[in-house]
Amino acid sequence: MALAALDLTVTLHTGTKVPLYTHAWESGSLDPQGHRLLETFTLDSGLPRWRWRIGDVVIERELALGAGTSTLAVVHRVLSAPGPVGLTVAAMCTWREATGTRRADGPGLRIERVADGVVVEGAYRLTGPGWQPAGQWHLGARAGEQVEDLWHAGSFSTQAGPGDTCEISAWTGDLAQRPPAPPVVLAAARERAHRLVTAAKAEGYAATLALAADTFVIQGPDGPALADGYPWTGRAAPVAAYEGLLLDTGRADEGRELLRALAERPATDAGGPLWLVHAVDRHVTRTGDSDLARDLAVPLSRLLRRSLDDSRPLSMDPADGLLTLSAADCPGSGRTGKLVEVNALWVNALAALGDLLAEGGKDDAEARERHARARESFLRRFPAPEGWLHDVVEGPAAPYPLGAGTQHDDPTLRPCQLLAWSLPHGPMRGAAGTAVRACGQALLTPLGLRTLAPDEYGYDGANPDQGLVRPWLIGAYADACAATGHPVDGLLDGLAAHLAEWGVGSVGEAAHGDAPHPAIGRPFDALAVAETLRVQTRYAP
């Protein structure tokens, strides 16, 4: 976190100063309350636009980030006014980790004055018209649940009449090299947005999703990468997001480069290699890229073997060929044993790997045999008497983890099992859809699927594992419905409306399990965007 806020104040021709910004404070107050004068907030080609009205004075702000650069361009424009007004923009600064805070009683910010602006901490530079340094702490600003102090470094100011602007730039990297003027950055961002939407062949809210998807695709120092979400990012996005973020946006060339890089990197989580095989299989299936299949089939085989060695949480049971999770992949979840989603992914990956090897001219009878054995074991072990699949077999006795030392098959109805029908080589493909119907009746909400049904023991609509809604699961549910002959019409209506709330123009990571399902958690989530876009692309009329 660098530039925390640009606080705009308008000075009318009468001399009255009207703040158009809002801050929440540790005391619980909102001061000033510029949001009361906010007339509209919209996204134009993915770019945010605020418009305030003070009587007959209308002020607009637009901003854009330069693609592939750490450049922020902000343009304030007077749309209408009876005469010139003053625009003053206070720069509220910090320099901290996104999940941390900075307080006035800690190390002070290093400030260096430069032409028409300031350099903060030697890390980023601000420039604009009429810079006047200030230098004081504003104490007790609230950012979500956290409280921090912000440094008022100074203010930019100008007199502006109708059509005039106040333009501000901020950037990192080479601080002596000025970026293009803000209007140029905004125009380039709009042009880029047009190219992205055209490449994705998207219309309506699908175009919004295509632009949202672009925010997670990063060109890093080691090549392309996927961010998992904003804010509170920092780890790679699940490979499960690959198809929606890159194939459904017409960016297969970038995707090919990413897949090659991922095949050479060590796995960061237990399910990562399984999802990577699925991503490569989908890429080859949809693009016909047999060269990629030939190049990656053997490296993927090695990656799967490494993921099952003695130092990993996953191991293959020699008795049935299924995978056992010996340590919880998600801290606090308590789910250990043979998990339904892990083994659905395992069966899918073994079949996909066999296809990739064959596509590359290296058909492997052993891989086919492993797949057949794992699939047969899945079909024998996972069906539960209730008509759906066990969530875990051979796990610790419930309630977790009190039954250590004993084994228990858990028949709790959870959405993870949908992967067994939704994956193209899933072990339940071709089977009846009784469980899919049960998941829809008990778990489906307008924003995705709950992790537990409300009538189950231990349900808590705000708990990640006990009832919270996960929007990304709409993808597995839609595919499972299509595979079993259930309708998919209208599944995205709630998520389409969600694009106008919480993280505007994007899909958040979670919602409360209880109606009206208020969004909670991170407002911009890569996997949720990817799966919503994938479903829209595949099943929209």
| Summary mean pLDDT of the chain | 92
pLDDT for residue 115: 87
Identify whether 231 is preceded by a cis peptide bond (ω within 30 of 0): yes
pLDDT for residue 403: 46
Give the C-alpha separation, 474 to 444, whole Å.
8
**Given pLDDT bands bounded at 50, 70 and 90, which one contains residue 406?**
low
Q: What is the pLDDT of residues 181-193, one digit of tens each?
A: 999 999 999 999 9
pLDDT for residue 399: 53
408 pLDDT higher than 60 = yes
Cβ neighbours for 500, distance < 8 A, ≥ 6 positions apart: none
pLDDT for residue 108: 87
Coil, helix or strand at residue 122: coil
Give the C-alpha separation, 154 to 159, whole Å.
17
Which position has the higher pLDDT, 214 or 335?
Answer: 214
Give the C-alpha separation, 356 to 340, whole Å.
24
In degrees, rounded to 5, the angle at the alpha carbon of residue 183 between the alpha carbons of residues 182 and 184 is 90
Residues 454 and 461 sit within 8 Å (Cβ to Cβ): yes
**Given pLDDT bands bounded at 50, 70 and 90, which one contains residue 402?**
very low
48 pLDDT higher than 50 = yes
Calculate what percentage of the chain has a pLDDT beyond 90: 83
pLDDT for residue 220: 76
Give the C-alpha separation, 538 to 541, whole Å.
9
Give the C-alpha separation, 8 to 12, whole Å.
13
Taking residue 143's Cβ as centre, other Cβ atoms within 10 Å add up to 16
Average pLDDT value for residue range 242-262: 96
Q: What is the pLDDT of residues 497-536, one digit of tens each?
A: 999 999 999 999 999 999 999 999 999 999 999 999 999 9
Cβ neighbours for 28, distance < 8 A, ≥ 6 positions apart: none
Coil, helix or strand at residue 477: helix
Calculate what percentage of the chain has a pLDDT beyond 70: 95
Give the C-alpha separation, 253 to 255, whole Å.
5
Cβ neighbours for 492, distance < 8 A, ≥ 6 positions apart: 474, 532, 535, 536, 540
Give the C-alpha separation, 96 to 84, whole Å.
38
Indicate the range of 49-53, 221-225, 486-490 predicted with least confidence.
Answer: 221-225
DSSP code of residue 402: T
254 pLDDT higher than 80 = yes
Domains of the chain: 3-191 (2.70.98)
Average pLDDT value for residue range 380-395: 95
Coil, helix or strand at residue 270: coil
DSSP result, 140-161: EEEETTEEEEEEEEEEEEEEE-
The token duo for 120 is 């903060």
332 pLDDT higher than 50 = no
**Tokens 């054995």 identify what position?**
373
DSSP code of residue 110: P
Could you give the C-alpha distances from 265 to 252, 258, 281, 358, 454, in angstroms and in order?
Answer: 20, 11, 18, 24, 40
pLDDT for residue 244: 97
Nearest to 64 by CA among 89, 43, 92: 43
DSSP code of residue 27: T
- Whole-model pTM? 0.92
444 pLDDT higher than 50 = yes
Give the C-alpha separation, 166 to 117, whole Å.
14
307 pLDDT higher than 60 = yes
Sort strands 165-171 and 217-220 into parallel, antiparallel or unpaired: unpaired
Coil, helix or strand at residue 175: coil
Nearest to 333 by CA among 412, 427, 386, 278: 412
Taking residue 463's Cβ as centre, other Cβ atoms within 10 Å add up to 14
Cβ neighbours for 380, distance < 8 A, ≥ 6 positions apart: none
Indicate the range of 68-82, 256-270, 281-295, 316-330 predicted with least confidence.
Answer: 316-330
pLDDT for residue 99: 80
